[in-house]
Structure 1
Amino acid sequence: MLVDDNVDAAMTLGLLLESGGHHVTVMHHPGEALERAAQAHYDAFLLDIGLPGMNGYELARRLRKVPGCIEATLVAITGYGQQSDQASAAYAGFDSYFVKPVDPAGLFALLDRVAAR
């Protein structure tokens, strides 16, 4: 699942991931993403940090409590690149951190490892 409130950025990244053979659910609102996560299985969640109403850190913490999501890979996809931002992401439970614009090769390599588990 990809969660980003920037519709254009989300759709572009979603299309890129699908072109690489990944099934992608794109969501724009963190609350709706939580609801969907409780209803279906996802191997990975790619979360923007600067989401409205609930930032990506809080969304990650909440996802870690959803049955079926505890073992999912959480990936921060964000424009925030400071060391303190990365530390906050690790504390919130993220497994990986990518600064926008995302390196497609690095992201595909990560998702290939997730798919191989």
Structure 2
Amino acid sequence: MNSTVDTTGGAPNRRILLVDDSVDAALAMGMLLEALGHEVRTEHDGPRALASIDDFRPDVVVLDIGLPGMDGFEVAREMRKRDVTKHALMLAMTGYGSDADRADALAAGFDHHLTKPVSIDALEALLK
């Protein structure tokens, strides 16, 4: 992972690719993650997220499931095939919170499933 150590006791600084079709939600989450010391790139759909991973090389992907067109499950499966994101921490961030949704997320290659609204404490714990 491309990370630096945060001397304030928080999570190490990470390169985070944030993918959410809600521009406002992505902006708010991106600003929060940047305030916590992380480098954030935001995309709003699956194809653009996939196109950005080679040059951005994220340590962490925070990915909404309910994307238009190519859903987050498809994006996660494709990212896991690529060397640059094969070992990245992949977090599903979604409004879909049933047990079946969680199982589907893990089967698609996500490491964790977070149901919106996401607690920043829970997110930071996963980034540590």
- TM-score class, shorter-chain normalisation, is over 0.9
- Structure 2's unaligned 5+ residue stretches are 1-16
**Displacement after TM superposition at 1:39 (Å):** 2.5
The runs of at least 4 consecutive aligned structure 1 residues that moved more than 6 Å come to: none
| Larger CA Rg, structure 1 vs 2 | 2
Give the length in aligned residue pairs: 112
Question: Which structure has greater helix proportion?
Answer: 1
- The share of aligned pairs that are identical, in percent, is 47
Q: Which residue of 2 aligns with 1:97?
A: 113
- What is the one-letter code of the residue matched to 1:78? T
- Structure 1's unaligned 5+ residue stretches are 113-117
Alignment of 1:27-66 (within 5 A): 27-66=43-82
Matched, 1:111 2:122: no
User: For 1:73, which of 89, 92, 96 is the aligned residue?
Assistant: 89
Aligned CA RMSD, in angstroms, stands at: 0.8
- TM-score normalised by length of structure 2: 0.85
**Displacement after TM superposition at 1:31 (Å):** 0.1
Deviations 1:37-81 (A, max 9, x none): 123311010000000111100100000011211000110000000
Q: Which residue of 1 aligns with 2:32?
A: 16
- TM-score normalised by length of structure 1: 0.93
